[in-house]
Every structure is written in C-alpha cells, then in structure tokens.
Amino acid sequence: MSVDRATVHRIARLARIAITDEEAARLETELSGILDWVAQLDELDTSAVEPMTRVAAVTMKKRKDEVTDGFCPDDIVKNAPKVDDHYFVVPKIVE
C-alpha cells in the first residue's frame, strides 16, 4: 500500500472533506491502486526534459490595467447560501 490510513485522513483534512473510517478504508485501497499504477512513470528518465507549460507557443496577451467588470453586488451574492446585505455570512471565526 503506497498510502496508509493516516495519510488518507491527513489528505482528506487538507482537501477539507470529512470522511468516515469506512470511507478511509476504501480510499486507502483505491488511492494506493491509482498511485501504484501511475508509478510506471518512474521508468522514464525525464531529468533533461522541460515540463510542458503551454500547448501552443503563444505569448499571453495583456490588457490595460483597468476595471472592466463589477459593480454588481446583487449578482455576486445572489447564489450564496447565507447573506446579510451584501456580505457572505459564515460561522464565527474569531472568538
């Protein structure tokens, strides 16, 4: 197993997904299976290869640094589960 139970719990915490012990047991097998399978990439020597960063050799376009959108707070909060005026409301963070 390339991933143990403790690692599954640590990763789930980093990903902000609550998981049960049952799910952790299943994920331990599944994630190990996937990671063992991708380990075949180790057969390739890539020490002299540049990583691919873009598909076509084009320079990213830049636009003027000016406001082109915005001033629509109603739209922005429209889909939020909990809103007060134009604020998103979350559980208390600071005691």
Partner 1 sequence: MTELTDLTIAEARDGLRGKSFTARELTQAHLDAIAAANAALNAYVLPTPERALEMAAASDARLGKGEGGSLEGIPLGIKDLFCTRDVRTTACSHILDGFTPPYESTVTANLWAEGAVMLGKLNNDEFAMGSSNETSFYGPVINPWRRSGSDAKLVPGGSSGGSSAAVAARLCMGATATDTGGSIRQPAAFTGTVGVKPTYGRCSRWGIVAFASSLDQAGPVARTVRDAAILLKAMASHDPKDTTSVDVAVPDFEAAVGKGVTGLTIGIPKEYRMPGMAPEIEALWQQGIAWLKDAGAKIKEVSLPHTKYALPSYYIVAPAEASSNLARYDGVRYGLREPGADVLSMYENTREAGFGAEVKRRILVGTYVLSAGYYDAYYLKAQKVRTLIKRDFDQAFEGVDAILTPTTPGPAFGLGEKSGDPVEMYLNDIFTVTVNMAGLPGISVPAGLSSEGTPLGLQLIGRAFDEETLFSAAQVIEHAAGPSAKPADWWSKAA
Candidate list 21, 65, 71, 81; residue touching partner 1; CB under 8 A:
81
* 40 is a contact residue toward partner 1 (CB under 8 A): yes
Angle between helices 21-38 and 5-14 (to 10 degrees): 100
* 32 is a contact residue toward partner 1 (CB under 8 A): no
Where on the phi/psi map is residue 60: left (φ > 0), alpha (ψ -120 to 50), or beta?
A: beta
Rounded distance, CA 20 to CA 68, Å?
45
Candidate list 15, 21, 22, 84; residue touching partner 1; CB under 8 A:
15
- Closest by CA to 31, choosing from 57, 67, 7, is 7
Residues near partner 1, by CB under 8 A: 3, 7-8, 11-19, 27, 30-31, 33-35, 37-41, 44, 46, 49-56, 58, 60-61, 63, 72, 75, 78-82, 88, 90-93
